[in-house]
A and B are shown apart, each in its own frame.
Chain A
């Protein structure tokens, strides 16, 4: 006989390694694809976005300063933990996206594989994107990629886990820190990802996850002067021009989104790894 009451979960934000409620005290109803009740998620406000940016900035020094090898190990460990929560991710992805369990299984597996794929890149990026530059004279010049800084990520709206992993992993693999606004109507896999990150070795603040209304939060992220880059993957099409304009005021690097959401199951290339790095070129006054 089972007359115990199950413990209902309170879904919260993930900022600076902690799980705060929204400063605004608001929440909103998350529904499954058929309109049934799934959960109440925290509805983040502009002040939550601001706190997330502060946390991301604070974490940037440590994360960008870690060795590429160390970042790879940390990210690989996240993949291990994702694997451990596989069943939960399958259930949430299936409910959120309205897909069959079998399809959800392959989506979750693809997401974990995607994470591992990006984890492997951390100590190879410098070799691929860096160069020793030919110069006319007995000098030595070389270029290395460095992280851009704090990256604001508007996560894809439809693909709640695979899409999310595909945009977040490259940002942090290259040493940036991220403030992620989740899919508005499908935030549950992102919330579970935050629990994975909190129990992994990723330092608090490297990834900050805010749930809520994308249209309300995105302009604050785009105009924030302490955000260095913006990924528009999940931006509503009607807002993209406005967001790009706001980002231009503080000369942010912007990764534009395609008109329709891409097929995230396709094998990724280096474009997202290349999007948020800055080339530093060093000139040696003497060749070797």
Chain B
């Protein structure tokens, strides 16, 4: 009961305000050397993701090769932060990234809908961790959240947190289904209270996925969590971030809303599959002085 009182006691989000602030910060111009630095920072924050029914061992291996060395002709390109796969691909990914320091993130808990029993969700999580996942991306039960059963969502996150053991836990709120910014703020706090190391916007399977205003609200939550408890928690926007311009807008938001401390792969990630292609093409455009194309950079 006090959980409900706390979540509903959170200040409401000024919808117009947050959207205007997000749009205003998005107009900031980042050029030349700063842009190059932003691109390298963004590459180092990518969770290179493949979550398709058609994923094969071969595809995951080639994804891992790209994660280790995103642009083989330019060894100074930083590696990505992690690869993100389904639980049955974790062992493959772990073997293919061994020794590189790249984290293995696995979605779990009946991703993407989260519609299954507690036992199955926990078994899913344990399987991922035992296979070698160092990070688990769980989905919350949106149905329970929207019908006000906050305790149930909270308990589930706590249980998954326990099943994770040493692995980091990212809690996917699926903001596209939460309808209002107020709900996003409540879900963010709920996930932080329950012990999530990261709060993540979306599964990437629902539209709209990550948006700048939603990410603003979530960044405010981790910032306020830090001021109140001194702990650093992370944010991961996922889905719909496809080009360099978008990525840089998110970096600006992180810097302005949460602070420069958050510009590290420990506290901020991009969940994306095609973003890396554009980052690499833009990086080449900056260095070579002309626009690059898919004949020169892998576009997959």
Name A residues whose Cβ lies closer than 8 Å to a Cβ of B: 50, 53, 57, 220, 223-227, 246, 249-250
Contact B289 A250 (CB under 8 A): no
| Residue B293 lies at the interface, judged by CB distance under 8 Å to chain A | yes
Contact A226 B289 (CB under 8 A): no
Main secondary structure of the interface of B (DSSP, over half): loop
A129 and B295 alpha carbons, distance in the complex (Å): 27
Which residues from A are CB-within-8-Å of B291?
50, 53, 220, 223-226
CB distance from A169 to the nearest CB of B (A): 25
CB distance from B36 to the nearest CB of A (A): 17
Which residues from B are CB-within-8-Å of A223?
289-291
| CB 8 Å contact bits of B281-295 with A (1 = contact, 0 = none) | 000000001111111
B contact residues, total (Cβ < 8 Å): 8
A250 and B290 alpha carbons, distance in the complex (Å): 11
Contact A225 B289 (CB under 8 A): no
A246 and B288 alpha carbons, distance in the complex (Å): 12
Question: Taking each of A53, A223, A226, A227, which has the highest tally of chain B beta carbons within 10 Å of its own beta carbon?
Answer: A226
Interface contacts beyond A220-B290, A223-B291: sample of 4 additional A-B pairs, CB < 8 Å, sorted by A: A53-B291, A225-B290, A225-B295, A225-B296
* CB nearest to A223 among chain B residues: B290
* CB nearest to A251 among chain B residues: B295
* CB nearest to A222 among chain B residues: B290
A250 and B296 alpha carbons, distance in the complex (Å): 9
Question: Taking each of B289, B292, B293, B295, which has the highest tally of chain A beta carbons within 10 Å of its own beta carbon?
Answer: B293
Which residues from A are CB-within-8-Å of B295?
225-226, 250
Which residues from B are CB-within-8-Å of A246?
290
Which residues from A are CB-within-8-Å of B289?
223
List 18 interface pairs A-B (beta carbons < 8 Å), by A numbering. Answer: A220-B290, A223-B289, A223-B290, A223-B291, A224-B290, A224-B293, A225-B290, A225-B292, A225-B296, A226-B291, A226-B292, A226-B294, A226-B295, A227-B293, A249-B290, A250-B293, A250-B295, A250-B296
Which residues from A are CB-within-8-Å of B290?
220, 223-225, 246, 249
CB distance from B43 to the nearest CB of A (A): 19
A202 and B200 alpha carbons, distance in the complex (Å): 42
* CB nearest to B289 among chain A residues: A223
CB distance from B283 to the nearest CB of A (A): 13
Question: Taking each of A53, A225, A227, A250, which has the highest tally of chain B beta carbons within 10 Å of its own beta carbon?
Answer: A225
